[in-house]
Amino acid sequence: MKFKKDFVFGVATSAPQVEGAALEDGKGLSIWDVFARIPGTIADNTTPDTTCDMYHRWKEDIRLMKELNIESYRFSFSWSRILPDGKGKVNQKGLDYYKRMIDELHRQEIMPNATIYHWDLPYELEREGGWLNRDIINWYGEYASLLFREFGDSIPLWATINEPIATYVGYAAGFFAPGRKNEQYGRQANHHVLLSHGEGVRRFREENLSNAEIGIVVDIWNHHPLRADHEGDKKLAELENEKSYRSYLNPIFCGCYSEGLLAYMKENNCMPQMMPGDMEKINQKLDFFGLNCYNRVVDCADPELLKKQKKEFIGGNYMDNGAEYYSKAVYDAAHILKDEYKLDIPIYVTENGTYNCTEEIREDGSIHDAQRIQYINGFLEWIKKAIEDGIDIRGYYAWSLLDNWEWSGGFNARYGLVHTDFETQKRTCKDSALWYKNMIREVKSQYNS
Ligand code: GCO
């Protein structure tokens, strides 16, 4: 089986992870700019101040994408670069930056795929309660409308939100910005993110764009029980799925929270405040779905057993640092969408990649990352199988173009096809980048004759 002619191969990044220039040209602070300055929050004590400096190097980086046969670039807008206070005054320099970048993508025939919100809430809004304040639905809506009016049809694929679960992590688990730790806050923030998604879709429809589609990006890390016949393991895996992907997909596609999640929230006193009409607002027809998929998770009621005996129970393949390599995750996720949610809109795999592999730097400067190639290739094979099953997957985006700033992981987790030297900003293609380039050429050349 081959990928179809119009299957899109892309790369993905997000603004706070690659742009840098965090304090330049009128940009306001985001919650990550502030959070990263709290000692102990980021593994290597770094900040998003400079990262890959793409704010200044966008032209070279787009040229690099072109050299690598990249057909689409998925990026995100920085809310506080465009609206430094999150609302009100617009920073023209911020809009100009994206305008230049998007024009250049079109010149190079690389399709822009834009995310409106990828975790970097303006700090001024956090000071007013951030995702806990219901007014955010309108703050987000105004920001989204501004983007639709400025960039509308020049961006064929728009995503309202990237991985809404990050907001839960930021308000309940506390290891993402803004670093709050309260389960009810997490659930409330989630509810407002979902409502903001709905508001974004409504405002998108209002603009009547003719060449643009709207969707959302959600990550699916499917939870499996370690022991298939163990009640405790099965219950745990089930609950974890309720608390993760189903918390988002049920409201978005079915218009309600699942029974399982409602029961959990009642028992744990963390039910969000909801208003009549909320579910209708969240549950709107989308044009496409963005799936982020990296791995599965294996759960065991006995954590010691999981640590010691995972391999014995589930077998499988492992990356150099011991993480399981389970490329079927993407096939399973596609089937969740088709079988559990009866999804009838196109799917793009909007993120997939790894940092769990050895990167050997040779004397000639080349970078050997064989496991990353194996990882991506394995996922692509399972995507083909899902397509064979009739699931409408239209594209694949590797995470990421460049080694970048991996949130609380700082610069330690290198996900790039291209190596970044954070001292000199020199980019060096790893073997995986060259492999990706050739793979795209081979797939497409079958259609050129
Ligand atoms: C996510 C985010 C990315 C991450 C990537 C690697 O999926 O978590 O969208 O910003 O950097 O996933 O962890």
Residue 1 falls inside a structural domain:
no
Section 210-235 average pLDDT? 97
Q: Is this prediction's pTM over 0.90?
A: yes
Cα 353 to middle of ligand 1, angstroms: 9
**Catalytic-labelled residue, pool 19, 124, 126, 163:** 163
Residue 373 falls inside a structural domain:
yes
Residue 316 falls inside a structural domain:
yes
Which residue, 247, 135, 240, 277, is CA-closest to 192?
Answer: 135
Which residue, 70, 177, 80, 176, is CA-closest to 113?
Answer: 70
Section 14-24 average pLDDT? 98
Which residue, 342, 368, 344, 343, is CA-closest to 357?
Answer: 368
Q: Count CB-CB contacts under 10 A for residue 272.
A: 18
DSSP assignment string, 4-63 = -TT-EEEEE--HHHH---TTSTTPPPBHHHHHTTSTTSSTT---SSSTT-HHHHHHHHHH
Q: How far is CA 292 from CA 46, 217, 325, 361, in A?
A: 26, 7, 16, 29
Catalytic-residue membership of 163: yes
Section 131-154 average pLDDT? 98
Ligand 1 nearest-atom number relative to CA 353: 6
Cα 74 to middle of ligand 1, angstroms: 12
Number of domains in the chain: 1
Residue for token digits 């699931």?
A: 391
Ligand 1: which residue has its CA nearest to atom 13?
406
Residue 130 falls inside a structural domain:
yes
Ligand 1: which residue has its CA nearest to atom 8?
163
Ligand 1 nearest-atom number relative to CA 355: 6
Q: What is the bridge-based pairing of β-strands 393-399 and 8-12?
A: parallel
Residue 366 falls inside a structural domain:
yes
2 falls in which pLDDT band (50, 70, 90)? confident
147 falls in which pLDDT band (50, 70, 90)? very high
Residue 241 falls inside a structural domain:
yes
Tell me the C-alpha distance between 303 and 308, whole Å. 9
Residue 34 falls inside a structural domain:
yes
Tell me the C-alpha distance between 429 and 27, whole Å. 31
Ligand 1 site, CB within 6 A? 14, 17, 162-163, 219, 292, 351, 399, 406, 415
Cα 144 to middle of ligand 1, angstroms: 22
What pLDDT is recorded for position 449?
A: 63
Ligand 1: which residue has its CA nearest to atom 4?
406
Tell me the C-alpha distance between 61 and 402, whole Å. 9
Residue 3 falls inside a structural domain:
no
What pLDDT is recorded for position 37?
A: 98
Binding site, by residue number, is 17, 118, 162, 294, 399, 406-407
Cα 431 to middle of ligand 1, angstroms: 22
200 falls in which pLDDT band (50, 70, 90)? very high
Give the ipTM of the model, two decimals please: 0.91
% residues pLDDT > 90 (the chain): 95
Indicate the top mutation candidate among 118, 161, 163 to test ligand 1's pocket, ranked by most ligand atoms within 8 A of CB: 163
Cα 168 to middle of ligand 1, angstroms: 15
Catalytic-residue membership of 231: no
The CATH number assigned to the domain holding 104 equals 3.20.20.80
Tell me the C-alpha distance between 17 and 90, whole Å. 22
Binding site for substrate, by residue number, is 17, 118, 162, 294, 399, 406-407
**Catalytic-labelled residue, pool 199, 240, 351, 359:** 351
Indicate the top mutation candidate among 292, 414, 417 to test ligand 1's pocket, ranked by most ligand atoms within 8 A of CB: 292
Q: What is the pLDDT of residues 351-392, one digit of tens each?
A: 999 998 999 999 999 999 999 999 999 999 999 999 999 999
Section 248-266 average pLDDT? 98
For residue 234, the enclosing domain spans 8-445
Which residue, 69, 163, 62, is CA-closest to 116?
Answer: 163
Helix and strand counts by DSSP (H, E) for the chain: 17, 16
CA-angle at 445, arms to 442 and 449, nearest 5°:
155
Q: Is 225 helix (H, G, I), strand (E, B) or coil?
A: strand
